[in-house]
């Protein structure tokens, strides 16, 4: 049975750097519609303390999700015959959202638009989207692995792209967390014992389905009926810290490894303090007191939370040697893990080829 390896990566990091000062003039409200009386500078300072976000990236008005997905894909395919791709899977949740609007344009699929922009003629390059919350790109990897293990598929392009800056409520403090971006990976079949070694996915919907959702602006005087991304941040934090470490351990157990075998833990960039708490709880599961230095790269402080794009962007930066103090070498064991809307969690164990 073939294994699945990543043979090419690419990302698009928007040029517009939005520092926390951008939010000094905003009017923030609580979920009950009552205006927050605390000074904005104090609100911003507290959010940065919790999330470690000092800036994030926004796309320019001329770009949309399908555009940045295409740009990331094009970089991942620099050395590949595009016509030989069997599947294009795009993880996204909100479709194309034009500047000045929060309405989603979902037809045709973003993957179809990307295939069109790549000028792929082959009708058997099948393109479809995966709306799976922030873990969507990892879920795309697992689907690619299933396809490749079937024996009939050789190449799958997996993209994560999102423009959150256009679907965030300007009157919601959480709007400062979100960002835009895209990342892509080309997954190919190999007979070597490398690449994706195991994966575990779970969906907790009975009590947690709506922790992340869309809803009206918190400002009761907001005139339009637009829907924005909303979340119960504290509840998500507790759920993630309690649950993600166990999913990671399950995936390592399934692959026959322990935590000390892992060189890097790549976690979705949702909140740095949350990711650190997840990592600490993971090491406690293995009764390890001292967490190795530089085991968990972080990009959230300067890229913000771009949902499905955080992990493929981080992996592309790693592969291109653009993250200080972080390098990957052949044989290294890497764990990808994510948590997000649904609530969905997944983890992939990967051996570097």
Write out the E strands in the chain.
Answer: 3-12, 16-19, 55-58, 87-91, 126-130, 155-163, 180-190, 195-203, 212-215, 228-231, 262-267, 333-340, 344-351
Token digits of residue 284: 């406690």
Identify whether residues 150 and 57 lie together within a single domain.
Answer: yes
Q: For the residues 111-136, what does the mean pLDDT come to? A: 98
* Boundary of a domain, candidates 193, 208, 226: 193
Task: Provide the domain limits for residue 253.
Answer: 197-351
Spatial separation of the C-alpha atoms in residues 179 and 182, rounded to whole Å: 10
Identify whether residues 204 and 109 lie together within a single domain.
Answer: no
Partners of 54 in the beta sheet?
Answer: none
Identify whether residues 111 and 248 lie together within a single domain.
Answer: no
Identify whether residues 156 and 239 lie together within a single domain.
Answer: no
Identify whether residues 180 and 321 lie together within a single domain.
Answer: no
For residue 223, the model assigns a pLDDT of 79
Identify whether residues 134 and 262 lie together within a single domain.
Answer: no
First CA to last CA distance, the chain: 17
Identify whether residues 28 and 136 lie together within a single domain.
Answer: yes
* Boundary of a domain, candidates 148, 172, 193: 193
Total domains in the chain come to: 2
Identify whether residues 158 and 201 lie together within a single domain.
Answer: no
pLDDT over 80 at 102, yes or no: no
Q: What is the CATH number of the domain that holds 218?
A: 3.40.47.10
pLDDT band with cut points at 50, 70 and 90 for residue 1: confident
Each residue of 315-340: pLDDT tens digit? 999 999 999 889 999 999 999 999 99
* Boundary of a domain, candidates 193, 227, 243: 193
Identify whether residues 27 and 46 lie together within a single domain.
Answer: yes
Identify whether residues 176 and 210 lie together within a single domain.
Answer: no
Partners of 338 in the beta sheet?
Answer: 346
Identify whether residues 211 and 171 lie together within a single domain.
Answer: no
Each residue of 16-74: pLDDT tens digit? 999 999 999 999 999 999 999 999 999 999 999 999 999 999 999 999 999 999 999 99
Please give the mean pLDDT across all residues of the chain. Answer: 95
pTM of the model: 0.95
Identify whether residues 138 and 206 lie together within a single domain.
Answer: no
For residue 225, the model assigns a pLDDT of 80
In terms of DSSP bridges, do strands 262-267 and 333-340 run parallel, antiparallel, or are they unpaired?
parallel
């Amino acid at each position: 049975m073939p294994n699945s390896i990543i043979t090419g990566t690419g990302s698009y990091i928007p040029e517009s750097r939005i520092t926390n000062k951008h939010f000094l003039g905003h009017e923030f409200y609580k979920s009950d519609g009552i205006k927050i009386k605390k000074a904005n500078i104090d609100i911003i300072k507290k959010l940065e303390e919790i999330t470690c976000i000092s800036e994030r990236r926004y796309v320019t008005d001329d770009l949309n999700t399908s555009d940045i997905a295409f740009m990331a894909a094009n970089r991942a395919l620099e050395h590949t015959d595009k016509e030989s791709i069997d599947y294009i899977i795009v993880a996204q949740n909100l479709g194309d959202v034009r500047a000045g609007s929060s309405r989603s344009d979902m037809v045709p699929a973003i993957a179809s638009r990307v295939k069109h922009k790549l000028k792929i003629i082959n009708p058997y390059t099948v393109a479809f989207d995966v709306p799976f919350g922030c873990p969507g790109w990892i879920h795309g990897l697992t689907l690619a692995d299933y396809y490749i293990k079937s024996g009939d598929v050789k190449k799958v392009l997996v993209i994560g792209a999102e423009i959150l800056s256009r679907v965030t409520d300007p009157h919601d403090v959480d709007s400062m967390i979100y960002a835009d971006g895209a990342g892509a990976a080309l997954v190919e079949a190999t007979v070597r014992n490398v690449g994706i070694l195991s994966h575990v996915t779970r969906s907790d919907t009975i009590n947690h389905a709506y922790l992340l959702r869309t809803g009206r602006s918190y400002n009761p005087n907001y005139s339009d009926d637009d829907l924005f991304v909303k979340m119960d941040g504290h509840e998500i934090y507790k759920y993630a810290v309690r649950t993600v470490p166990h999913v990671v351990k399950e995936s390592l157990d399934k692959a026959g490894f322990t935590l000390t075998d892992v060189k890097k833990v790549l976690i979705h960039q949702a909140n740095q303090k949350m990711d650190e708490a997840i990592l600490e709880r993971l090491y406690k599961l293995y009764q390890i007191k001292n967490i190795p230095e530089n085991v968990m790269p972080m990009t959230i402080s300067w890229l913000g939370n771009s949902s499905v794009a955080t992990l493929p962007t981080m992996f592309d930066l790693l592969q291109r040697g653009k993250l200080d103090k972080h390098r990957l070498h052949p044989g290294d064991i890497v764990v990808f893990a994510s948590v997000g809307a649904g609530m969905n969690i997944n983890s992939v164990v990967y051996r570097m080829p």
